Amino acid sequence: MKWTVRIVLGMSLVLLAFGAMAEDVAREQGKATLGPAPQASPRPAPTWSVPDSSIERAEDAGLRAHTDIVYRGLDGSNKPTRGSSPAAIFAARGANPAFQTVETPASLGCIYLSTPEKRNTGCVPVVQGGTGGPSAGGWGAIALVDAYDNPDAATDLQNFDNYWGLAAANFTKIYANGNGDCSTPPPDAGWSIEESLDIEYAHVYAPSAAIVLVEACSSYNTDLYYAEQVAIDYLAANYGGGDVSNSWGEGEYSGENSSDPIFSAWGNGQYSTPISVFVSAGDSGCTPAYPTVDPWVVSAGGTSIYRNKSTEKFTREGCWSGSGGGVSTQETWAQTFTGSNSGPWADYQYPIFAESNRAIPDFASNSDPSSGVYIYNQYAEGGWSCCWGGTSEASPSLAAIVNRAGNKLSTCWFNPVNSTCYFYNAEDTLLYAQLPTAAAYSSNFYDISTGSNGCTVSKGWDYCTGVGSPRGTLGK
């Protein structure tokens, strides 16, 4: 894989939106926010469980990754609740958890993509089959990069679509085995659940986009990073672009910067191909992780959905207590292009932090297993189960919502006049440019200022939900 570095000479759209005066103010304000993420109240004790594949071990940093999926049982047990259908699971759930319930493709589509008028009706979840989801939308393909094999991935997605009445997916599974580490990735129960969640909820929000599951030989970085390159090249060669989602990560480690370009279209030689890369922010609260702190990716944080206990109508979103967030210890500011790091080439956070380290997340969506989702997974779960969450839900969901928006942004904007990349991470540049606007920000995002993941949560950008959660496709 050959990487060509092109020096960025222009400031990003964020600074253009703010103007010179805002730049001076930001520089002074940003100096006060350098250093570790300010701490709020301690995050609530976790009320969820994790599969073995999601257990984070300090010794794995720099070596292998874990999934960012969690679950809760409706019966209060430490295992997922299984049943013959979502309706059967819901009927056996017992007492309604206060202010939260299980979400469906239709209820989530209503919150994140429908008109304000429809959202005002409450976006109430309906668990009977055939309730559908968002209307047709999407382009190119969405690639989901995971480790190991889910032997039933195609039929899992088919059963999921059939029950909810969703359009049949254009689904492809490929093995990232060209590095010689395996011929066929071995199956793994925990990662198979991750893969079912990824492909099913990517398809929910962008049903017209092809779904490509890219399976790495293992969860070791050497295999997952190779699979990332395979995914980006595959989207460029077969679909003319799209979006890549990664619902996994690990603790930060010295030398991670050298891998940053792998998670970008330009780092794989695809300068003019519209491909954006998304990575889960993690499920460990106010803790930075890799590769979600990579400045070339969109970091996906987590929210909780709250409803009226009696009517189950949507009332608000808050910070999910497990959502990853914070300030990177490795992705520092640099004045000279390094191929990684924050800097003039990736300065979308400059108006907030000035010349500071990369902070996460960028924006967020439902991840709380208390407002979790149903998945269909045959290999590990034997069919339907709930209630699944974690920022593993947020990454494919946000990738699909951005895909649906159709802006076709990439990890650099390639200027054909002088063959130079400008505005690296164009998707984040667009997201952050809306923060100071009088109308676009409040129309396009839900500003989350309640809840705690151990980091500061406040109006505007924060260390739990970034710029907020999406409302519609404008500005995405």
Per residue in 297-315, pLDDT (tens digit) is 999 999 999 999 889 999 9
Distance CA 150, CA 283 (A): 23
Top pLDDT among 292 and 26 is at: 292
Query: pLDDT value at position 4?
Result: 33
Contact (CB, 8 A) for 90 and 102: yes
Contact (CB, 8 A) for 322 and 385: no
Is 316's pLDDT higher than 70? Answer: yes
Query: pLDDT value at position 32?
Result: 36
Query: pLDDT value at position 97?
Result: 53
Distance CA 137, CA 204 (A): 10
| Opening angle at CA 445, ends 357 and 193, nearest 5 | 75
pLDDT tens per residue, range 459-470: 999 999 999 999
Query: pLDDT value at position 116?
Result: 79
Cα–Cα distances (Å) from 10 to 81, 136, 361, 467, in that order, read 52, 37, 24, 24
Confidence of residue 1 (pLDDT cuts 50, 70, 90): very low
User: What is the mean pLDDT of the segment spanning 380-401?
Assistant: 98
Is 435's pLDDT higher than 90? Answer: yes
Pairing verdict, β 210-216 and 171-176: parallel
Distance CA 465, CA 256 (A): 24
* Average pLDDT taken over every residue of the chain: 90
pLDDT tens per residue, range 11-49: 333 333 333 333 333 333 333 344 557 776 678 888 899
The CATH code of the domain at 13-470 is 3.40.50.200
Token pair in block for residue 416: 């054909």
pTM of the model: 0.92
| Opening angle at CA 113, ends 112 and 117, nearest 5 | 100
Q: Which of 330, 257, 251 is nearest to 284 (CA)?
A: 251
Query: pLDDT value at position 74?
Result: 87
Phi, psi of 389 (to 5 degrees): -155, -145
pLDDT tens per residue, range 141-162: 999 999 999 999 999 999 999 9
Low-confidence winner among 139-143, 266-270, 413-417 (lowest mean pLDDT): 413-417
